[in-house]
Amino acid sequence: MKKLLAMVMAMVMVLSAVSFASADTADYTIRIYSNSNSTERVNWLVDAAAKAGFTISIDDNSVISGDTAAIQAANENKDGDILFGLNEIRWSQLINGQYENLAIMDWTPTWAEQVGQYAYPGKAYGLLIQNVLMLYRCDELGTNGQELKFKHWGDIVDCGYTWYRQGKVGGTTNTNINNAMLYAFTDPASPAGGISIDGWKTLWKYCANGIFTGDSYGFDPLNRGDVQVSTFYSSSLYGKIDDAASGSDHPLMGVEAPENWQLVDIEDGTYYIAEYVGVLDREGRTPEETEIVKAFAEWFGSADVQAAWSDEFDSFPCNKAAEEMVYSQTPAIYTLNNCSLTKVEGTDMTYAEYVGAHATEWTNIMTNLGFYWADNNTAPAEPDWDNLDWSVLTQKAE
């Protein structure tokens, strides 16, 4: 439950700005690359940074959209000072040197210990946490009071209820839903991208028997009562429920105390991502300018600023001090088990690292086999699972 009002947050931001204003930071324009760059977020950050004495340059999502575009632009332009957003997959690649023109500087903010496990120590530190959720209606348009409890995300295909599925392979939320679905099927020895054939069969069944209504994400069809079970991302859930009546005659009700909806109880938990901030090593930047950039990163990740950001955009901060400022108790959607940081049996990788190692193969498999068609009338035939050449399917189609 949130406990801060907008006026209180505004006061926090003023006090935060005062503490950084003496750094004479406005003489250098800090170039930022991010995929967390909706127009609202960009405008808020430019304004807040200016009040704190920083001049920043950041493109909104009409120019750069998505994590791939953000990191590719930073790599190609070679003019970045700060990178924030993305997730563990991209940050692991970045810190391991997979981008020829990008390197993260050594940097440890004063608030480093506040973000706990969400850190690449000495390099990048967590800003906010997000996960994907499986929801169901428990009223007469749903399970009529019957509790849904699964061991794995893939159990949805045998749940006996109608469910919504996405209509394309790409996109961060869609990818994270797939990651959650495939978690139970990891097999490092499998030629099918490190996933058992049963995993791909389950994902196909999820797609083939699910309902796609053309909506961007799964909240709206569940809210209308078109389906009984659906998926969504955590950061916008409560805001969507607040406004649910504007899009349905039978809306979901009860924000943090659900009235006619629930989270599916899934033993595995769910797939989390964290967005991080790091300082890029920019050629030609003076030591004095580098200190300005580090001061901005220190300011942006601080508890005061992250509390204000979280309050404004309905997100959940990694910084525990910021969480305590915003919430009187941790919302239920952020208390679920985090499967992304569990170790994959037979490897020394967390599941997030495993996803990073196989993500390209998974995208190629789904694209080559025709997963997530938008029109059921043009659905492809189910693959002949016993006679597939996975060495070809894991490669990009020519």
**Tens-place pLDDT, residues 251-305:** 999 998 999 999 999 999 999 999 999 999 999 999 999 999 999 999 999 999 9
Residue 393 has pLDDT above 80, yes or no: yes
The amino acid at residue 285 is R
Residue 324 has pLDDT above 60, yes or no: yes
The amino acid at residue 203 is L
Is 296 within 8 Å of 56 (Cβ atoms)? yes
**Tens-place pLDDT, residues 37-64:** 999 999 999 999 999 999 999 999 999 9
Residue 13 vs residue 165, higher pLDDT = 165
Is 49 within 8 Å of 56 (Cβ atoms)? yes
- Confidence at 26, pLDDT banded by 50, 70, 90: low
Which uninterrupted H or E stretch holds 130? Answer: strand 124-137
**Tens-place pLDDT, residues 65-118:** 888 899 999 999 999 999 999 988 889 889 889 899 999 999 999 999 999 989
Residue 323 has pLDDT above 90, yes or no: yes
The amino acid at residue 230 is S
d(CA 319, CA 126): 7
- Confidence at 22, pLDDT banded by 50, 70, 90: very low
**Tens-place pLDDT, residues 173-196:** 899 999 999 999 999 999 999 999
Residues 233, 372, 334, CA angle at the centre, nearest 5°?
A: 15
End-to-end, the C-alpha distance of the chain in Å comes to 51
**Helix/strand/coil percentages in the chain, nearest 5:** 45, 15, 40
